[in-house]
Amino acid sequence: MSKELAELWRFRGLLWQLVRRDLKVRYKNSRLGFLWSIAPPLMQVAVITFAFRHATNFAAKFPSYSAFVLVAMIPWTYFQTAVQDSCQSILMMYTVIKKVYLPREIIPLSSTISNFIHFLLSWLVFVLYWYVFRRGPILWTVLWFPYLVIVQFMLVTGVGLFVACLNVFYEDIKYIVTIVMSLLLFVLPIMYVPEQVVYTSHIGGRYHPIFIWFYMNNPITALITGFRKTLLQPPSPAAVGGPSLPLNVGSLLFAGLISFGILIASYAYFNKRKWEFIERP
Amino acid sequence: MGIYRKTVAPDSETASHAILVENLHKTFRLQHRKSASIKYAILNFYRKNPVEKREALKGVSFRVEHGETVALVGKNGSGKSTLLSLMAHVYKPTSGIIQLNGKIATLLELGAGFHPDLTGVENVELYGAILGLTIKEIHQKFDSIVKFAFDTPDLAEKIDTPLRNYSEGMKMRLGFSLAVHTDPDILLIDEVLAVGDEAFQQKCYRKIEEFQNEGKTIVFVAHYAHIIRQVASRVIWMHNGLIRMDGPLEPTLEAYLKASDDPNYHSKNS
């Protein structure tokens, strides 16, 4: 793998050019440019807040419900768009890699990196939101922020490399990814908080504790919960049906370990198959 | 277009050659799909489509010295483009040795990395990076690249407009100009020497002559005898994945042209 990394470093100029191209091309012909990447999550937050405030009674008891949705929606949007973009990326550059030598991992990497830049900029929206609505003091746990951002980058890049590679051989993957993403939006605690699942669900019967462990400690839930608990005041027990769970440091460290593992394993798999890309039967 | 360096220790026996190819094999897998219908796909979900192995190269060996200009000839499907792609490091060989000593630039298809929504300037930066230039080198050579591609100022003026406004000819000229500005030691060219109008072609030939005078190595695939006669010093004739003849320009080209005039040549599998 060190040989591959050295090769990647040698092509860093090209990687940067591809990231620049992604950033430029996306809104090339639009007037509002970057606003188009923050408008959809903002509108989603507004609509979800409206619907949940009126349809459920927990959101009504939740004074800063929209902040909780926004803080989950920003990392979720990054995960979703970056994985979907890198899934398609290699087939979009197919004519180029058929003619020219370049380390193939550069292509999905440029997708996850350009989306990462959008992800970082999206946090400015949260800062603005914070400033306008004054949702309490800034917590010292904000120091976790860089760690969480890096862990998420590793997770997204790992998953992105894997689906990008697989999609070259089985184009069903892009449909599967789209479906899974639309389901995860509801399964994961994005529109609600995980305490509600912990306190009220009985899924799995006897195996309920195991289910809850996986639900809480999978890297995406861990990251979303991590962002919420480090940036926002805990919700009131009345809103979530029990005492708010404390920030779980073990779960965050575990998410870091798992994400790193996924990245290494996907990169190894990608390297094993990258020479078959243009020779697929 | 892609550039990579293979360095061989100077004391090694192979370093004296620009290109060393030994007993090179390349096998592709081809899949036959009987029907594309949904019904067929569902009924045969578990059944794998038959995969046929096709040997594109069946053991090719040759050496190219520094400064030589070699033309690869042969009918369609004889393996010359596969051979060139292997030299460009786009494929990995199935077996055998392939070594290139020096910086490589390949002109396999011009403009493969161009993006229609970016301007000419932005495309030069992107395509230059795909060709292995740093952003600094691109900016240094920028004027020269544009000047080589477009000789009249009204064409050069378009460089900051989106590429979709360019004609096919202009895109190709820009691609060719970029590739020759990468300053390679070994230039690989695939059937693209017939780019642009008469004046631009003359310019390309002059550039190739310049490369030859500088002692650079050129390997190219061509179908037209007049192009081969103008540029090459040696001809390698490929036939069914093997070298049929390898020698100096005139006798080898003559033999190939004579054979391809024979109507049996194109059907016979010998």
* Residues B112, A95: C-beta atoms closer than 8 Å: yes
Distance (Å) of CA B126 to CA B105, B155, B190: 16, 20, 22
All residues of chain A having their beta carbon less than 8 Å from the beta carbon of residue B29 are 279, 281
Structure tokens at A203: 């899924």
pLDDT 10s digits, B156-190? 777 888 888 888 778 878 888 888 888 888 888 87
pLDDT 10s digits, A180-226? 999 999 999 998 888 888 887 777 778 888 888 888 889 999 999 99
All residues of chain A having their beta carbon less than 8 Å from the beta carbon of residue B91 are 275, 278-279
Q: How far is CA B146 from the centre of its chain?
A: 22
Beta-strand pair B186-190/B69-73: unpaired
User: Quick one: average pLDDT of B223-240?
Assistant: 87
C-alpha distance from B137 to closest chain A C-alpha (Å): 11
Q: Which of A17, A20, A99 faces B112 most closely, judged by CB atoms?
A: A99
* Residues A278, B91: C-beta atoms closer than 8 Å: yes
Q: What are phi and psi of B221, to 5 degrees?
A: -105, 130
B55 touches chain A (CB under 8 A): no
DSSP bridge partners of B26: B57
pLDDT at residue B2 tops 50: no
* Residues A101, B91: C-beta atoms closer than 8 Å: no
- Lowest pLDDT segment from A244-248, B119-123, B193-197, B224-228: B193-197
All residues of chain B having their beta carbon less than 8 Å from the beta carbon of residue A102 are 2, 130
Range from A10-19, A238-247, B7-16, B183-192 that averages highest in pLDDT: A10-19
Residue B4 pLDDT = 46
**pLDDT category, A160, cuts 50, 70, 90?**
very high
pLDDT 10s digits, A109-144? 999 999 999 999 889 888 888 888 766 777 888 889
- Report the greatest alpha carbon distance in chain A: 62
Rg (CA), chain A: 20
* Residues A99, B135: C-beta atoms closer than 8 Å: no
- The residue type found at B59 is G
C-alpha closest to that of A167 among A273, A95, A79, A16: A273
Q: Which of B85, B122, B129 faces A13 most closely, judged by CB atoms?
A: B129
* Residues B112, A17: C-beta atoms closer than 8 Å: no
Whole-angstrom distance, CA of residue A255 vs CA of residue A261: 10
Whole-angstrom distance, CA of residue A36 vs CA of residue A20: 17
Edge to edge, what strands does the sheet with B95-100 contain? B51-65, B17-31, B95-100
Residue B193 pLDDT = 60
Residue B3 pLDDT = 44
Nearest CA in chain A to B26: A279
- DSSP letter assigned to residue A60: G
pLDDT 10s digits, A31-48? 777 787 778 888 888 999
pLDDT at residue B108 tops 60: no
Q: What are phi and psi of A276, to 5 degrees?
A: -85, -10
User: Quick one: average pLDDT of A136-162?
Assistant: 91
DSSP bridge partners of B71: B220, B235
**pLDDT category, B48, cuts 50, 70, 90?**
low
- What is the average pLDDT score of chain B? 80
DSSP bridge partners of B20: B63, B99
User: Quick one: average pLDDT of A158-166?
Assistant: 95
- CA-CA-CA-CA dihedral for A162, A167, A172, A175, to nearest 10: 70
Q: Which residues lie closer than 8 Å to B61 by C-beta, 6 or more apart?
A: B21, B22, B23, B24, B243
Q: How far is CA A183 from the centre of its chain?
A: 14
Q: Which of A17, A95, A279 faces B126 most closely, judged by CB atoms?
A: A17
C-alpha distance from B13 to closest chain A C-alpha (Å): 25
DSSP bridge partners of B63: B20
Edge to edge, what strands does the sheet with B186-190 contain? B5-6, B102-107, B186-190, B217-221, B69-73, B234-239, B242-248
Helix (H, G, I), strand (E, B) or coil at A242: coil
Residue B189 pLDDT = 84
By the 10 Å C-beta count (0-12 exposed, 13-18 middle, 19+ buried), A17 is classed as buried
pLDDT at residue B269 tops 60: no
In A35-182 the beta strands, taken as DSSP E runs, fall at none
- The residue type found at B245 is M
Q: Are B111 and B172 in contact (CB under 8 A)?
A: yes
HEC string of A92-109? HCHHHHCCCCCCCCHHHH
Whole-angstrom distance, CA of residue B239 vs CA of residue B241: 6
For chain A, give percent helix, strand, coil, nearest 5: 80, 0, 20
Nearest CA in chain B to A276: B91
Residues of A engaging B, defined by a Cβ cutoff of 8 Å:
13-14, 16-18, 20-21, 24-25, 28-29, 95-102, 275, 278-279, 281
pLDDT 10s digits, A234-277? 887 777 777 888 888 899 999 999 999 999 999 999 999 988 88
B117 touches chain A (CB under 8 A): yes
